[in-house]
């Protein structure tokens, strides 16, 4: 491999000749070989903010137009993913993300100078003008978090809602046994049960949406400690407007930069709503696999697609694998919520130095939820079918339809009917007649499943 010599405040260092990064990136690359690379969404967000900063500085008259245009051109390449290989740094580096900020600065400068065929750009003096790692990295966090949620997660939520709406309508008249405490309960329709699942996704999406405003507040303009040192007084407001133009999403400058540099509460808040979605997806996936359990010795009230063999030793076994994948993702998101919460609590004085961890785990949660929900929807939920025979068998065996007798014979007598039926393995009708509480005609008139799935009147 051929090398070139780059210099920084520490001294000279060899850098591969065919890369756009410089000395500071190289030192980080050599010193931190811990875990995976910084998420591409963060790098793209840096492309957005560096472009916006350059254009804003040009408008303010503190950066030459030709330099600003050159920076913007390279940033467009970064945003498109064209320069992906030039961002080798890992998540577990300096906790401020300084090295990733400098990675972007160096790549923009060197690539820009290559395009211009002359040395027009300096990574600090031009690309990083009016900025600090301490305000650019939090800004990249907010941009990448919001854009990833809206681009990757929300469309999947909408598709799942559509699937569950269809299933709700298709199964609206199928009456089945309800269950509480894992015990038999009064009946409901399969459509009603599915409507609960749908409502969870609808509400979770709304809850996530309600948190996003806080991510729209950007730290850019606070520079090193929140005072805005070395930036124009109008820079923060103007650069937020420019970022909005580039992304098509509304962003504003944070009112208090001392808060936005050191506190990561907005990400904690939004991730809490993501955790709520994960919790509901755990519930839906578990419901589906319980209701599909069997095929002969379980509940078996629904059938799900048979996607692959389920056992290396038991022939013919098929497992609810999509549900299992979803529940594992839910657990991972809950774990990420813990790490994000702990990391966010470590904002000492004017800076939090757990930021790469926070945004890595945040984006991992968003992308995992989007992927797992899409897979569950396409490979499982959409193919759910009711097992009418099993549903009817369970309806016939359920003792909890005795609840329909409460208004006619009272709670205590109805309880006696259920206990006698269970103890003697006879029907509720037979038990009540033997106890002398009613005759067969009364029972048939009082106990109708279709009347038990809605309020009286």
Helix ranges, 131-263 (H): 133-148, 154-170, 190-215, 235-247, 257-262
**Residue 36: CB partners within 8 Å, gap ≥ 6?**
90, 91
Task: Copy the structure tokens of residue 383.
Answer: 């193919």
**Is residue 118 packed enough to be buried (19+ CB in 10 Å), middle (13-18) or exposed (0-12)?**
exposed
Distance (Å, whole) CA 105 – CA 307 = 48
Sign of CA dihedral 196, 199, 205, 207: negative
Tokens for 202? 């609808």
Q: What share of the chain is helix, strand, coil (3-state, %, to 5)?
A: 65, 10, 30
Q: With contact defined as beta carbons under 8 Å apart, do 66 and 120 qualify? A: yes
> Cis omega (within 30 of 0) on the bond before 295?
yes
Alpha helix ranges (H) inside 264-354: 265-291, 321-344
Tokens of 11: 């001294």
Q: Which of 246, 177, 201, 148 is nearest to 373 (CA)?
A: 201
Distance CA 102, CA 220 (A): 16
Q: Report the candidate in 298, 284, 282, 281 with the shortest Cα–Cα distance to residue 387.
A: 298
**Active site residue ranges:** 181, 311
Q: Which residues contact 386 (CB under 8 A, 6 or more apart)?
A: 171, 174, 176, 190, 301, 302, 303
């Amino acid at each position: 491999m051929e090398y070139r010599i780059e210099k920084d405040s520490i001294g000279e260092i060899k850098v591969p000749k065919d890369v756009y990064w410089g000395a500071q990136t190289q030192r980080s690359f050599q010193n931190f070989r811990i875990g995976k690379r910084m998420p591409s969404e963060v790098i793209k967000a840096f492309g957005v903010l560096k472009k916006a900063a350059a254009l804003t500085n040009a408008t303010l008259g503190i950066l030459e137009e030709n330099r600003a245009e050159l920076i913007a051109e390279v940033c467009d390449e970064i945003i498109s993913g064209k320069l992906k290989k030039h961002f080798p740094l890992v998540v577990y580096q300096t906790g401020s993300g300084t090295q990733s900020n400098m990675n972007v600065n160096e790549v923009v400068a060197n690539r820009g100078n290559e395009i211009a065929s002359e040395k027009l750009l300096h990574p600090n003096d031009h690309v990083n003008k009016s900025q600090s790692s301490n305000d650019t990295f939090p800004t990249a966090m907010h941009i990448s978090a919001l854009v990833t949620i809206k681009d990757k997660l929300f469309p999947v939520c909408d598709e799942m809602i559509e699937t569950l709406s269809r299933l709700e309508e298709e199964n609206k008249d199928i009456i089945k046994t309800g269950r509480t405490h894992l015990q038999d309960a009064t009946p409901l329709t399969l459509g009603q049960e599915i409507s609960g699942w749908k409502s969870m996704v609808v509400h979770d999406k709304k809850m996530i949406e309600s948190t996003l405003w806080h991510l729209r507040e950007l730290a850019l303009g606070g520079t090193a400690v929140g005072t805005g040192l070395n930036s124009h007084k109008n820079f923060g407001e103007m650069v937020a407007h420019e970022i909005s133009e580039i992304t098509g999403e509304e962003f504003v400058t944070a009112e208090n930069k001392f808060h936005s540099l050191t506190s990561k509460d907005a990400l904690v808040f939004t991730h809490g709503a993501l955790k709520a979605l994960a919790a509901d997806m755990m519930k839906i996936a578990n419901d589906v696999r319980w209701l599909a359990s069997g095929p002969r010795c379980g509940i078996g009230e629904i059938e799900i697609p048979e996607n692959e063999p389920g056992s290396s030793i038991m022939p013919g076994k098929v497992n609810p694998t999509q549900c299992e994948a979803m529940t594992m993702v839910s657990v991972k998101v809950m774990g990420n919520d813990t790490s994000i919460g702990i990391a966010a609590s470590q904002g000492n004085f004017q800076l939090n130095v757990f930021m790469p961890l926070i945004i890595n785990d945040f984006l991992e949660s968003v992308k995992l939820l989007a992927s797992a929900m899409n897979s569950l929807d396409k490979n499982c939920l959409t193919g759910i079918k009711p097992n009418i025979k099993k549903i009817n068998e369970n309806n016939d065996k359920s003792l909890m339809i005795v609840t329909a007798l409460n208004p006619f014979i009272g709670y205590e007598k109805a309880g006696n009917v259920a206990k006698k039926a269970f103890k003697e393995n006879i029907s509720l009708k037979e038990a009540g007649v033997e106890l002398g509480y009613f005759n067969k005609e009364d029972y048939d008139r009082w106990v109708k499943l279709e009347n038990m799935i809605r309020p009286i009147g």
